[in-house]
């Protein structure tokens, strides 16, 4: 066993003395040591109940003959961090989570790992760590929140942010706003729409690193506790068979993840996280492949914010496996890939059924013939940018309008709430990328403000920052290269005509190459908004968004 390096033989007597100081018995040390990575804290609603998930996992490990040993991973609540300096720190925690988990796993020579994340950066951060450490690993998340209810209608966090816009526009009273605040997030769990956390938890099933239901069983269901016990037991099988993350997370598995992503209509943040996880597995994912996969993958689901259904509805309709089963009807998945079940994708989904054709459209009656995310290119984004096509109003799929240029999210929000944005405008928010932010803030506040004031079908927004999975509308993010490194978005001027054609995957300014060259001569870089601490180091090492915003050493750049 790998853990023999810290517990076997006379030379390891000092190490054993420290295990004994922990209260560990000789019998426990004879068993495999299983690291339990617990993302619990009392700050994030999606994590407040993970102590119960952890205890269930430990029970499963003990039942199957292992010795569980718990250690923590940090987590930021994106909703609480939204709209202020805190959001600069959200995406960068992904690297902290991966690095600290690697350090703990290798410093203590665990034989296997059970990862227990739930929210936005924990799932990809721990998947990155799993690929990097490459010892048998399984994922079991905390599960999604139940939908809230306001005036008898299901609702969620995205509705809350849009309510702020409605309140600003004078169409919602103070009392109605507070009713939303008290009702939209009724339970523990990751917020109830197809936002980033739930997107990534669903993709753990698609990629083969989580058991059936990991992405969709609600946090408050006892079924989630049973799932955790099964995961604890299953890690011992993975250890016995020596099935490791890189055996599972192959290039074909990432193609499966992208395909399921397109069918579900996941958050655009998956376009950051999938390349970053693949990088840790030694696989390069070029975002151009996303459009290739999207072109052949129908969009089967319109979960909030794209539509009026929620994670609990997807779970009742058959979950991720039912979506995957629909996709196999057109041979869109690699079904012969091994997974943490010890079986192949095809074996896993063999008995799956679509139980609600309104929640999961049959593959011959999709919402659209193409996937939920589109990657665009053009003279504003020569590398790439991304949009959640499934959450764009049909009339905004092709749009042309004047640029309204802002060098920070805060300035843009002030203009939106100040009534300075007109129908047809294209709001441009720049210097919010991985380096320029630093940290690539989410733009849920401005997108929600646009929706809340009733301009979601007339105003577009483009940024080198990113969006929450709760954002909807013609919200185009991850513009690469970013403004901070001199990307063309830095050269856009107030009033330039912006041409958006999501159907043809293009984003351009009606500005000649010659004019852009002249503007570049006058351009001067801006200092990052935060120049101290972790974010100083992060800004100096982070890659472009189209490469996953990963940290790269100089020789890799």
DSSP secondary structure of 396-449: GSEEEEEEEEESSHHHHHHHHHTT---TT-EEEE-S-STTTTTS--B-HHHHHH
Q: What angle do CA 213, 217, 223 make, to 5 degrees?
A: 95
Beta 153-155 vs 33-38: how paired, if at all?
A: unpaired
Beta carbons within 8 Å of 448's beta carbon, 6+ residues apart: 158, 161, 162, 164, 165, 470, 471
DSSP string covering 107-158, please? Answer: HTT-SEEEEE--STTHHHHHHHHHHHH-SSEEE----BPPPEEETTEEE-HH
436, 441, 446, 452: CA torsion to nearest 10: 170
546, 473, 194, 205: CA torsion to nearest 10: -40
Q: Which of 468, 471, 475, 544 is catalytic?
A: 468
Please report, for residues 186, 311, 312, the alpha-carbon distance to residue 195 in angstroms, rounded to integers and kept in the order given. 17, 10, 13
Strand partners, 107: none
Contact between residue 98 and residue 548 where contact means Cβ atoms under 8 Å apart: no
CA 448 to chain centre: 19
pLDDT for 324? 98
Beta carbons within 8 Å of 327's beta carbon, 6+ residues apart: 259, 260, 263, 297, 300, 333, 363
pLDDT at 557 over 60: no
* Average pLDDT over every residue of 24-33: 97
Structure confidence by residue, pLDDT tens digits, 243-294: 999 999 999 999 999 999 999 999 999 999 999 999 999 999 999 899 999 9
Residue 359: pLDDT band (50, 70, 90) is very high
Beta 33-38 vs 398-406: how paired, if at all?
A: unpaired
More confident residue, 39 or 391: 39
- Is omega for the bond preceding 502 within 30 degrees of 0, making it cis? no
Beta carbons within 8 Å of 259's beta carbon, 6+ residues apart: 206, 293, 297, 327, 332, 333, 371
d(C-alpha 529, C-alpha 150), whole Å: 38
CA nearest neighbour of 202 among 260, 250, 247, 253: 260
Residue for token pair 């929140």: 145
* Average pLDDT over every residue of 85-109: 97
The separation between the first and the last C-alpha atoms of the chain, rounded to the nearest angstrom, is: 37
Which pair of structure tokens corresponds to residue 304? 């909030």
d(C-alpha 135, C-alpha 139), whole Å: 13
pLDDT for 155? 94
* Average pLDDT over every residue of 480-485: 98
Percent of the chain topping pLDDT 70? 99
Give, as one character, the DSSP assignment of residue 38.
E
pLDDT for 528? 86
Supply the mean pLDDT for the chain.
Answer: 96
pLDDT for 555? 66
d(C-alpha 464, C-alpha 154), whole Å: 32
Lowest mean pLDDT segment, chosen from 101-110, 161-170, 527-536: 161-170
d(C-alpha 236, C-alpha 242), whole Å: 9
Structure confidence by residue, pLDDT tens digits, 120-158: 999 999 999 999 999 999 999 999 999 999 999 999 998
CA nearest neighbour of 256 among 297, 222, 225: 297
Residue 3: pLDDT band (50, 70, 90) is very high
Residue 357: pLDDT band (50, 70, 90) is very high
User: Is position 156 annotated as part of the catalytic site?
Assistant: no
């Amino acid at each position: 066993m790998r853990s023999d390096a810290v517990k076997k033989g006379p030379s390891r007597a000092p190490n054993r003395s420290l295990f004994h100081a922990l209260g560990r018995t000789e019998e426990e040390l004879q068993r495999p040591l299983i690291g339990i990575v617990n993302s619990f804290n009392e700050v994030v609603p999606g994590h407040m109940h993970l102590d119960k998930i952890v205890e269930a996992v430990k029970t499963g490990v003990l039942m199957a003959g292992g010795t569980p040993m718990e250690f923590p991973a940090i987590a930021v609540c994106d909703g609480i961090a939204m709209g202020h300096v805190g959001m600069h720190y959200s995406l960068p925690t992904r690297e902290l989570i991966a690095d600290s988990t690697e350090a703990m796993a290798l410093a203590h020579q665990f034989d296997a790992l059970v990862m227990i994340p739930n929210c936005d950066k924990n799932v990809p951060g721990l998947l990155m760590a799993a690929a990097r450490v490459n010892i048998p690993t399984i994922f079991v998340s905390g599960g999604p929140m139940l939908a809230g209810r306001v005036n008898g209608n299901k609702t969620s966090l995205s509705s809350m942010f849009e309510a702020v816009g409605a309140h600003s526009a004078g169409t919602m009273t103070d009392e109605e706003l507070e009713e939303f605040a008290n009702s939209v997030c009724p339970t523990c769990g990751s917020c109830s729409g197809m936002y980033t956390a739930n997107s990534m938890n669903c993709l753990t099933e698609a990629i083969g690193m989580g058991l059936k239901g990991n992405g969709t069983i609600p946090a408050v269901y006892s079924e989630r506790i049973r799932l955790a016990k099964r995961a604890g037991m299953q890690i011992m099988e993975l250890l016995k068979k020596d099935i490791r993350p890189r055996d599972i997370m192959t290039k074909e598995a990432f193609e499966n993840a992208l395909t399921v992503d397109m069918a579900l209509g996941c958050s655009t943040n998956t376009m950051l996280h999938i390349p970053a996880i693949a990088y840790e597995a030694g696989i390069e994912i070029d975002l151009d492949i996303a459009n290739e996969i999207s072109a052949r993958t129908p969009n089967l689901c319109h979960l909030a914010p794209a539509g009026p259904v929620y994670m609990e509805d997807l779970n009742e309709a058959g979950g991720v496996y039912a979506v995957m089963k629909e996709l196999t009807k057109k041979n869109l998945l690699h079904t012969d890939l091994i997974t943490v079940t010890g079986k192949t994708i095809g074996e896993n989904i063999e008995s799956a059924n679509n139980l609600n054709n309104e929640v999961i459209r049959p593959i011959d009656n999709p919402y659209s013939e193409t996937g939920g995310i589109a990657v665009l290119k053009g003279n504003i984004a020569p590398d790439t940018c991304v949009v959640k096509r499934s959450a764009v109003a049909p009339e905004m799929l092709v749009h042309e309008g004047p640029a309204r240029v802002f060098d920070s999210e805060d300035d843009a929000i002030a203009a939106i709430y100040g009534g300075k944005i007109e129908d047809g405008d294209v709001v441009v928010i720049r210097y919010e990328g991985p380096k320029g932010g630093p940290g690539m803030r989410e733009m849920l506040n401005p997108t929600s403000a646009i929706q809340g004031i009733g301009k979601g079908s007339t105003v577009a927004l483009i940024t080198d920052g990113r969006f929450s999975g709760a954002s909807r509308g013609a919200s185009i993010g991850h513009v690469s290269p970013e403004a901070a490194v001199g990307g063309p978005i830095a050269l856009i001027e107030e009033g330039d005509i912006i041409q958006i054609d999501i159907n043809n995957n293009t984003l351009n300014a009606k500005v000649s190459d010659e004019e852009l060259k002249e503007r570049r001569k006058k351009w001067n870089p801006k200092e990052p908004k935060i120049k101290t601490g972790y974010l100083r180091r992060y800004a100096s090492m982070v890659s472009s968004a189209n490469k996953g915003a990963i940290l790269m050493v100089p020789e890799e750049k």
